[in-house]
Structure 1
Amino acid sequence: MTGLIDRFLKYVTFDTQSNPSQATCPSTPGQTEFARFLQQELIELGLSDVTLDANGYIMATLPSNVEADIPAIGFIAHMDTAPDASGKDVKPQLVENYQGGDIALGKGDVVLSPIQYRDLHALHGHDIITTDGTTLLGADNKAGIAEIISAVEFLMANPEIPHGDIKIGFTPDEEIGRGADLFDVDKFAAKWAYTVDGGPVGELEYENFNAAAALVEFKGVSVHPGTAKGKMVNAMTAAARFHADMPLEETPECTSGYEGFYHLHNAQMSLTDSSLHYILRDFDKDELARKKAYLEDKVATFNAQGNKVSLTITDNYSNMREMVEPHPHIIEIAKQAMERCEVKPNIKPIRGGTDGARLSFMGLPCPNLFTGGYNFHGIHEFITVQGMELAVKVIVQIAKDTAIRYR
C-alpha cells in the first residue's frame, strides 16, 4: 500500500476538469495529458495490451495466472473531475489521526466541520486527505484510478493469489455524461466489470437514477421601460414565475433514498431571451415520465396565459438495475469480497449515475464499488487513507474470489 497515496497525490495535480460546452473527446486537453501519463505508468508496470485511443480511452490487461477458464472481469474509473468546482492547482493536505472538531482548509476561513458533515464523527483515528478550500480534491475519480492500479500492482507482486484476466478501463468525460459514449465494449472483452467510483467504505450499488434534461426557454419583447406599459414582455420575469411555482419538496435538498427530483442546474437571463436548465431524476421510469408530463403541462399553461415558452426534454441514461439483476453472482462476489475484508456492505441506490449505468445497457453489467471518498464535486471533498486501502483490498479479493469460484 505504500505507493497508493503517493500515486493518488500525484494524480490530483493534473487538471482534468471536463467541459460540457466542448464537443471534442476528451473535452479538455488536461484529460489527454493525464491519459498519456497513465498509459506510460501502465506500460512501465508491465501490463499487457496497453492502449490509449484517439478519444482518450485507456485499456490494459493483467493476464490470468491460472490455467482454468476464468471469466475476464474489469475495473473502470474516470479521469475527469466535475465542472462544478475548479480542479486546477489542487493542493491536498493530510490530516493524520483525526480526533474530531473542525478541519481548517488552507489558510482561509473555510473549514470542514462535523456539524455540517456528520460522516466525520465516524472517522476519528483516520488519516484524512482534504482540499485547501479553493478547489475540489479529485478523489472523484482519481482515487478509483489509484486504487485499481495499486490493486493490480499488488496482484503482480503476489503471484500466489489466483486471478483470471483483469481488464482495466479509464474513461474521459464521465462527469458530463459522455464517459461511455465511445467505450469499446468488444475490445474491453470482459464478462462483467465494476466501476470504482462510489463514496464511503462499503458502498455497493447497482441501481441508479433514470435521468433526463429539460430546457425551458422564454421569449420576451424589449421596449423602453418609460413607454413599456402593455408592450414589454420580460422573459426574466416569466422564468422567475415559472421556477417559483415548481414543487419545492421535489428538489435535491429536500429528497433522499429512492425519491426523485427536479433540479434547476443553471439559468441564462435577459429581457428578451431567458432559459432554465433542469435535470430530472427518478429511480422509477413511470415517475420520471410523470415529471416530464408535469413540465409539459406547466409550459402549456404558461403559453395559454400569453407567454412564449418552449420545452425540450432529452433522455440521458437509465437505471442499470434491470441489466444487472439478471446476473446476481456479480453482486454476490463483490458482497462476499467486502465481508472477507471485514467491510460491511452497504447496498444502496446511486443518487446519480456512473459510466456503469450506460455500460450495463451496452452489454457490460457494471455495478459500482466504493472509493472511500466524501462530498464529491466541491471544496469540502475529502477521502480517508484507510478507506482507499480497503478499496484496494476489496478489488484484490474480488479478483481472487472470481478465480476460485470458476476454477
Structure 2
Amino acid sequence: MMSLTINHTVLDRFLRYVQIDTQSDPASTTFPSTEKQKNLSRLLVEELKAMGIADAHLDEHGYVYATLPANTDKQVPTICFCSHVDTSPDCSGEGVKPLVHKDYDGGILTLPDDPAVQLNPEDHPELKHKIGHDIVTASGTTLLGADNKAGVAEIMDAVHFFTQNPEVKHGAVRILFTPDEEIGRGVDHVDMEKLNADFGYTVDGERLGSLEDETFSADAVAVNITGVSIHPGFAKGKLESALKIAADLVAALPKDRLSPETTEGKEGFVHPVSISGGAESAQVQFIIRDFEDEKLAAHEAELKGYLDQVMQHYPHSKAEFVVKEQYRNMKQMIQKRPEIVDYAGEAMRRAGLEPQKRSIRGGTDGSRLSFMGLPCPNIFAGEYAFHSKEEWSSVQDMEAAVRTIVEIVRLWEERS
C-alpha cells in the first residue's frame, strides 16, 4: 500500500469559509431559504475550477455539483461526498471571527469578544482528549460554523490532494454541497440523475473516528385547534380558548419520559417546538423521533391520546391532528450494502484511527439521500458543540477526516 503525504489546505480553507455568513431561515419560502448561502457556494465552484475540476457549477437551487474524473482503467463505483454550506438559525453566523488556539494546554478557553463564553473541559469532555491540538473557535458572539464547513473544507482538501497527486489511482468522485440542511430541506431539489453516483458519504459527524449508519426516523405533527372566541367580558360558560387548549396539551405530556431532556441512546421522544395563535385558533408543532418506525407510530398514537383527553374538556372546540413524514432511518437502506460502511471503517484504520460505530440522534442529508437511491452513511468532520457560541473544532481532527476521505476513495479503487 502506497504511503501518503498530504500537504493539507484544510485549515486555510476552513478559516475562509466560516467568515461567510450562510445561515438558513426556516421561515423563508424560497429555495435556498437565504440567498447569502450562494456566496460560499460560488467561492467553492471557483476553487474547484482552479483545481482543474472542469464541470464544477452552481445550479439555480443553490447546489454545487462537481466531478473528480476517474484515472484508473478499473470499473469502480462512483462515490459521492456531501456536506452542507448553511449554518444553524439557532445562533448568529454573521461576522464570524475564527480564532486558532495553538497547542491547547487542557485549560479553559475564554473567548475574547464575550468573556462570559468559555470552553471548559468539564462541560466539553472531548477537549480533554485534544491536549496539544490546535483548537479553532469563534470569538464569543457567533457560532463558528464548523457544522458543516469543516466537512466542506475536508472534502475540498481531499479533492486538492487527488488533483495534485495523479499517480494515486481512483474512480470517479462526485462532490455535492447542499444548502438548507439545517432546516430540513437540504436535498429537496437534488438532481439524482445529474449526480449519477452509486452511493455516498456525508461528512457531517462530530467525534474523531465516528461512523454513523443509523439515524432517527422522523415525523412532524401539527395540532390545529379551533376554539370558541367571545368578548372576555361576556365569556362565562362560553369561551373555549384555543391557546389554553394548546397549553393543556403541552402540559399533558409525560414529565419523566418521552422528551429530549429525559431520553438518550435508542430512546425516542415527542417534542413540542412551537405554539402560536390566540383565543380563536392556535397551533402546536411537534417533532416525533425514534429509530424504529413502529415506535414512531406508537409515539404519535400516544400524543393523539393526550389530545383526545384534553378535548373532552372543550366540547365546542375542534382539533386537527396532521402528521407529516420528514425522513426515515437510513440504516434501512444502508444495510443492503454493508461494504459501504465496512470500507469507511477500514479507511479510518488506514488513517490511524479506531472507527466508532454510532447512531445519530438526529438526521443528515444522507438520511433522505439513502431513500432517494444513494445509500449514504455519515463520517466524522471534527465539529463539536455545534449550533452554539461554544462551537469548536480541532485542526488535527479535520486533517484526520481528510485522510479518511482519501483512503475511502483509494480502497474502492483497490477492491474493484
TM-score normalised to structure 2 length: 0.93
Equivalent position amino acid for 1:255 in 2 = T
CA shift for structure 1 position 12:
1.0
Match of 2:308 in 1: 300
Check whether the contact 1:139–1:382 (CA below 8 A) recurs between aligned residues. Answer: yes
CA distance in 1, matches of 2:381, 2:275: 33
Check whether the contact 2:51–2:163 (CA below 8 A) recurs between aligned residues. Answer: no
Task: Tell me the SS of whatever aligns to 2:166.
Answer: coil
Matched pairs, number: 406
Equivalent position amino acid for 2:77 in 1 = P
Equivalent position amino acid for 1:261 in 2 = F
CA shift for structure 1 position 79:
1.1
2:377 corresponds, among 338, 360, 367, to: 367
Check whether the contact 1:128–1:383 (CA below 8 A) recurs between aligned residues. Answer: yes
Task: Tell me the SS of whatever aligns to 2:214.
Answer: coil
Match of 1:376 in 2: 386
- 1:172 equivalenced with 2:175 (yes/no): no
CA shift for structure 1 position 225:
4.2
Check whether the contact 2:181–2:365 (CA below 8 A) recurs between aligned residues. Answer: yes
Within-5 A mapping of 1:3-14:
3-14=9-20
Q: CA RMSD in A?
A: 1.6
Within-5 A mapping of 1:223-372:
223-248=230-255, 249-306=257-314, 307-372=317-382
Check whether the contact 1:214–1:312 (CA below 8 A) recurs between aligned residues. Answer: yes
Match of 1:45 in 2: 51
CA shift for structure 1 position 347:
0.6
CA distance in 2, matches of 1:383, 1:262: 31
Check whether the contact 1:26–1:172 (CA below 8 A) recurs between aligned residues. Answer: yes
Check whether the contact 2:84–2:181 (CA below 8 A) recurs between aligned residues. Answer: yes
Task: Tell me the SS of whatever aligns to 2:253.
Answer: coil
Task: Tell me the SS of whatever aligns to 1:76.
Answer: strand
Equivalent position amino acid for 1:254 in 2 = T
Equivalent position amino acid for 1:292 in 2 = E
Once the two structures are superposed, residues 8-67 of structure 1 have per-residue CA deviations (whole angstroms, 9 ceiling, x without a partner) of: 111111111111222222110111222212111111111132122111111111111212
Task: Tell me the SS of whatever aligns to 2:271.
Answer: strand
1:385 corresponds, among 395, 400, 405, to: 395
CA shift for structure 1 position 129:
0.9
CA distance in 1, matches of 2:124, 2:232: 47
CA shift for structure 1 position 133:
2.4
Identity percentage over the alignment? 46
Equivalent position amino acid for 2:281 in 1 = D
Check whether the contact 1:302–1:309 (CA below 8 A) recurs between aligned residues. Answer: no
CA distance in 2, matches of 1:231, 1:203: 57
CA shift for structure 1 position 354:
0.9
Check whether the contact 1:151–1:395 (CA below 8 A) recurs between aligned residues. Answer: yes
CA shift for structure 1 position 217:
2.9
CA shift for structure 1 position 369:
0.7
- 1:194 equivalenced with 2:219 (yes/no): no
CA distance in 1, matches of 2:318, 2:138: 45
CA shift for structure 1 position 232:
2.9
Task: Tell me the SS of whatever aligns to 2:149.
Answer: helix
CA distance in 2, matches of 1:264, 1:86: 23
CA distance in 2, matches of 1:368, 1:135: 26
Task: Tell me the SS of whatever aligns to 1:315.
Answer: strand
CA shift for structure 1 position 227:
4.4
TM-score normalised to structure 1 length: 0.95
Within-5 A mapping of 1:66-105:
66-105=72-111
Check whether the contact 2:246–2:275 (CA below 8 A) recurs between aligned residues. Answer: no
When structure 1 is superposed on structure 2, of 330-339 and 57-66 the one drifting more is 57-66
Equivalent position amino acid for 1:290 in 2 = A
- C-alpha spacing 1:101/1:220, structure 2 compared with 1 (3 Å): farther
Within-5 A mapping of 1:131-146:
131-146=138-153
1:217 corresponds, among 214, 224, 230, to: 224
Equivalent position amino acid for 1:389 in 2 = E
CA distance in 2, matches of 1:126, 1:275: 48
Task: Tell me the SS of whatever aligns to 2:346.
Answer: helix
CA shift for structure 1 position 320:
1.0
CA shift for structure 1 position 221:
4.0
1:116 corresponds, among 104, 119, 123, to: 123
Q: Which runs of 5+ in 2 are unaligned?
A: 1-6
CA shift for structure 1 position 96:
1.6
Once the two structures are superposed, residues 80-139 of structure 1 have per-residue CA deviations (whole angstroms, 9 ceiling, x without a partner) of: 111121111112222222222321123321212222222222222221111222221111
Equivalent position amino acid for 1:73 in 2 = I
Equivalent position amino acid for 1:5 in 2 = L
CA distance in 2, matches of 1:110, 1:48: 44
CA distance in 2, matches of 1:122, 1:348: 19
Equivalent position amino acid for 2:137 in 1 = T
Task: Tell me the SS of whatever aligns to 2:9.
Answer: helix
Equivalent position amino acid for 1:96 in 2 = K
CA shift for structure 1 position 200:
1.2
